[in-house]
Amino acid sequence: VDAAALRVIADPDALARLEFLHVDAELVVVAKPPGMPSQPLAPGERGTAAGGVVARFPECADVSIDPRDGGLVHRLDGGTSGVLMAARTRATWAALRAGFGTGAVTKSYLALCEAPPVSRGCDAPLVQRGARVAVDYTDGLSASTTWDVVERVGARALVRCHAATGRMHQVRVHLATCGAPIVGDVRYGGGPMPELIAFFLHAERVQVGDLAVTAPLPADRRAVLAALGATTVA
C-alpha cells in the first residue's frame, strides 16, 4: 500500500466526538473517547481521532512522517480514553516526538483495577507478540510505570499511574503483572464489565514544559465509579 493510500481522511463525524482541551499555533490537544482508535490501520478507515483532528486542522495531515498519524505525536489504545496530542507543524511534531521518547513529556493515567497492585511500580521489559504484549526479560524493550492507590472500592482499587516510557499496552500489562488487571480488560485478566466502553483506563494528564492538560473522565467511567460508591468521581 503506498503512503498516499494511508493518509488520514478528514472525518467530521469523528470530529464531533472529540473534545478540544487546548489549541494554539503549534499543537492541538483533544480528549479521545473510549472505543475510538487513535489512527487508521487501513486505507480509508474512518472513526479515528486522527481523522477528527484533521477535519478541523487540515495542516495536521502533513506534519508527521507516518501519513496515518494526522499529526498525532503519541497514541492511545482504542479502549483508552483521555488526553491525545497532535502537532500543527513539522518542527513541533519532531520536538514532541523527541520529548515523548526521552521522558520530557510526563503522563498520568487513572485505572480501575480488580485488586490493589502488590507493588508501587513495575519495570518489566515488554515485547509485542501479535495483538498481545508480554513481559520478556530477554528480548523485551525497557518500560517503567509507577503508581499510587487513590481509593479502595470494595475489592477493587482506583490507581493513578505514571508512565515514564510509552510502550504498547504498557500500563495494562504492568498492572496485570503486579496482580491488578484493569476492570474490563479481559485480554490481560480483567473481568468483564458491560457498563464500560472497553476497559477502565483513562489518560488523565499530559504535561509538556509549562503546558499541562487534563481530560475529564468520560461518562461511562464516572457512572461506574458512582455505582461502586467511590468518592473520587472526577
Identify whether the C-beta of residue 124 lies closer than 8 Å to the C-beta of residue 143.
yes
Task: Please identify which of the residues 77, 139, 185, 220 carries the catalytic annotation.
Answer: 77
Q: Give CA–CA dist 101/153, Å, rounded.
A: 34
Is 183 within 8 Å of 154 (Cβ atoms)? no
* C-alpha–C-alpha distance, residues 71 and 10, integer Å: 12
Q: Please indicate whether residue 77 is annotated as part of the active site.
A: yes
Residues forming the active site = 77
